[in-house]
Amino acid sequence: MTSKSRCRFLAMLALVFVVVMVWYSISGEDTYFDLFYLPNSEKKEPCFQGEAERQASKIFGNHSREQPIFLQLKDYFWEKIPSTYELPFGTKGSEDLLLRVLAITSYSIPESIQSLRCRRCVVVGNGHRLRNSSLGSIINKYDVVIRLNNAPVAGYEADVGSKTTIRLFYPESAHFDPKIENNPDTLLVLVAFKAMDFHWIETILSDKKRVRKGFWKQPPLIWDVNPKQIRILNPFFMEIAADKLLSLPIQQSRKIKQKPTTGLLAITLALHLCDLVHIAGFGYPDAYNKKQTIHYYEQITLKSMAGSGHNVSQEALAIKRMLEMGAVKNLTYF
């Protein structure tokens, strides 16, 4: 082989190598996108009835399906089913207070959700990855849109949408004017971490004397909502999220009290309520990134999570496991 032929052969070999590497790179990227992203956000993904239930049973076990999503008055008035754990993993010791709350709120799943042949749900996290995402119109297309705490919608519609079917909150995270950030028929679902949370909602809805102590941050003292919009999340879902997703001990000392975030709890709820579950806006900045904000709507950093009782690294691993097994799909990167 002449020197000229050898050079031509090596050049062709190099070209083949580059083509193979580019194909491999694209193929690998597609696999990654299939695993962690919704392949085509504009196109409705097929919804198979019972699919999320099958996936959830792999994580939480079949018995979790027997539990009601929201606490019901009859369980505390007629039968008085004893709870094994105290809040936030059970209702032990708070039954009388809870009884009064359940007497003025509701527990049903609305007919608009109940009647759906297949429930397509999206859990909208509060993460910075939603900023400039332009996902608003896509989020609005889901049957059920679940939001967290006081995350705003007004002014951010292009990125986060305007539809809110369910909003999980606790007193300190309740928006001071819920009518601004929610739809008229939004279900406001109380996640109770302590007995004072039941006391707060009772004083608000019954217009009793407010108690200002016992909260790490002052919750609203006037909160204009319809009691029939309020639901109380079954603490069982806090228990299984802690146990099955994070391997946290349920019996903890009062000083530790590690617990799942509202976001992880919302995903757990969605896997029990829905047939198809997508998430958006989940994931925290890397620990070394001290300046990256954690929310799409405010300038606070990961430093604000210190002392919260949440292990965000552990939660990230739990969400990645759910993504890998196909229990949920992501609209944003993770």
Q: Which residues pair with 16 in a beta bridge?
A: none
| Residue 42: per-residue pLDDT | 53
Tell me the C-alpha distance between 322 and 317, whole Å: 9
User: What is the pLDDT, as a whole number, of residue 46?
Assistant: 87
Considering Cα of 194, then 229, then 107, then 318, what sign does the dihedral take?
A: negative
- Which has the closest alpha carbon to 108: 236, 265, 191, 229? 229
CA distance 107 to 72: 6
Cα–Cα distances in angstroms (integers) from residue 2 to residues 10, 12, 16, 116, 277, in the given order: 12, 15, 21, 73, 63
Q: What is the pLDDT, as a whole number, of residue 141?
A: 97
Question: What's the pLDDT score for residue 36?
Answer: 47
As a residue count, the chain comes to: 334
Structure tokens at 251: 């019996």
pLDDT, tens digit, 9 for 90 and up, residues 225-239: 999 999 999 999 999
pTM: 0.86
Report the alpha-carbon distance of residue 121 to residue 279 in Å, rounded: 8
CA-based torsion, 271, 275, 281, 287: positive or negative: positive
Q: What is the pLDDT of residue 284?
A: 79
Q: How far apart are CA 125 and CA 273, in angstroms?
A: 17
Q: How far is 81 from 74, CA to CA, in rounded Å?
A: 9
Q: β-pairing, 230-232 with 187-190?
A: parallel
Task: Please report the sign of the dihedral spanned by the C-alpha atoms of residue 266, residue 108, residue 190, residue 75.
Answer: negative
Are 130 and 281 within 8 A, CB to CB?
yes
Residues of the chain with pLDDT under 70: 1-43, 253-256, 287-288, 290, 304-308, 310
Q: Give CA–CA dist 194/19, Å, rounded.
A: 60
Q: How many CA atoms lie within 13 A of 41 on its CB side?
A: 19
- No. of H helices and E strands in the chain? 12, 7
For residue range 71-82, what is the model confidence (pLDDT) as tens digits? 999 988 877 778
Residue 215 to residues 38, 94, 194, 303, Cα–Cα distance (Å): 39, 17, 9, 20
Q: Which pLDDT does position 299 carry in this prediction?
A: 85
- Which amino acid is present at 90? G
Q: What is the pLDDT, as a whole number, of residue 24? A: 38
Contact 264, 240 (CB under 8 A): no
- pLDDT for the residue numbered 22: 40
Handedness of CA 10, 11, 16, 22 (dihedral sign): positive
Q: How many CB atoms lie within 10 A of CB 244?
A: 16
Name all domains of the chain by residue range, CATH numbers in brackets.
Answer: 41-330 (3.90.1480.20)
- The amino acid sitting at 228 is K
pLDDT attached to residue 25: 40
**What are the two backbone dihedrals, phi and then psi, of residue 190, each rounded to the nearest 5 degrees?**
-75, 125
**pLDDT (0 to 100) of residue 31:** 36
